[in-house]
Amino acid sequence: MPLLTLTSDFGMQDYLVGAVKGRLLQQNPEFTLVDISHTISPFNYPQAAYISRNAIRQFPSHTYHLLLVNLFEKKPEQLLLAFHQEQYILCADNGLLSMMLEDKPEMIIGLPLDPKAIKNTLYCVQVMGEAIQKLHNGARLQDIGIPDVPFVEKNHLRPLFGENWMEGQIIFIDHFENIVVNITRDQFEEHRKGRPFKIVFKRNEVIDKVAETYADVPEGEKLAIFNAAGYLEIAINKGNAAGLFGLQGFTEQAKHLQSRLFYQTVKIMFG
């Protein structure tokens, strides 16, 4: 039976998460629904892209992933259904798809919305569910919508590079208040070229080695580590890194506030 994942910015306080599941199960009671996260920060595309990208890649081929994030950035005329690296992704036409994939999708179609319909969250979910059911019944992807439709693209949040430095943005703060930076292990090692380094943040805070586990430093000490998704993470062993250092995650709104930008970035100096 079809396996569906759900990622949203709904939060857990009201009825929407349950209502979405109910609407999908009305279409097919045998849908298997898996929650990825419903606590994406509002309007935070970098966070949504990071969470969904690194969860989706762990699922079996031909899983359907519903990204219910910022569905109404603009008045919707279509939803998107993409097929990429053997995964189906359904989302609003708001730029999140290209940020999450960090690439163009292998196949994409537009799912037109009825101009007469009341375009609320549950209607969008119903359109997505109907498309999934058609594919499950054997329809071809290109037959259930508009193939190769133009769609909104946004660049994913990239680190900055200089000859002897690189700078990343804080894209996520996890449940333990560990800080995730948009620098991958591969990017770090490629730019490092074997040189010594210093990870610099919050003015005078410096880390000059990468740990393998949190237990590599004494309790209460800061460390840098590459997490299970391969991204740089700054943490305190059994402590609260984000709160202690006063660091905040990147948001679209905050990137325009230069006085706060320092608290959103982490710099690595080489040599």
* 152 in any annotated domain: no
79: left (phi over 0), alpha (psi -120 to 50) or beta: beta
Alpha-carbon Rg for the chain in angstroms: 20
**Closest C-alpha to 235, from 189, 146, 172:** 172
* 154 in any annotated domain: no
pLDDT at 251: 52
- Of all helices (H) and strands (E), which one includes residue 91? strand 87-92
Mean pLDDT by 10 residues, the chain (271 residues): 95 94 97 96 91 96 97 91 98 96 94 93 97 96 94 90 94 88 96 95 86 91 94 88 62 45 77 89
**Closest C-alpha to 75, from 22, 115, 30:** 115
* Helix/strand/coil for 114: coil
What are φ and ψ of residue 230, in 5° steps? Answer: 90, 15
Q: Of 147, 174, 200, which closes a domain?
A: 147
Q: What is the DSSP string of 125-162?
A: HHHHHHHHHHHHTT--GGGSSEET----B----PPEEE
pLDDT at 125: 97
* Contact between 171 and 186 (Cβ < 8 Å): no
Biggest alpha carbon–alpha carbon distance for the chain: 62
User: For the chain, what is the domain count?
Assistant: 2
pLDDT at 241: 74
Instruction: State the angle between helix axes of 121-136 and 16-27 in degrees (0 to 180), rounded to the nearest 10.
Output: 30
105 shares a domain with 181:
no
CA distance 192 to 42: 35
**Both structure tokens of 16:** 């929407």
174 shares a domain with 235:
yes
CA distance 115 to 81: 19
Range of the domain at 237: 160-270
231 shares a domain with 171:
yes
117 shares a domain with 9:
yes
pLDDT at 252: 47
pTM of the model: 0.88
162, β-bridge pairs: 165
**Closest C-alpha to 218, from 200, 199, 236, 240:** 236
Q: Of 120, 147, 174, which closes a domain?
A: 147
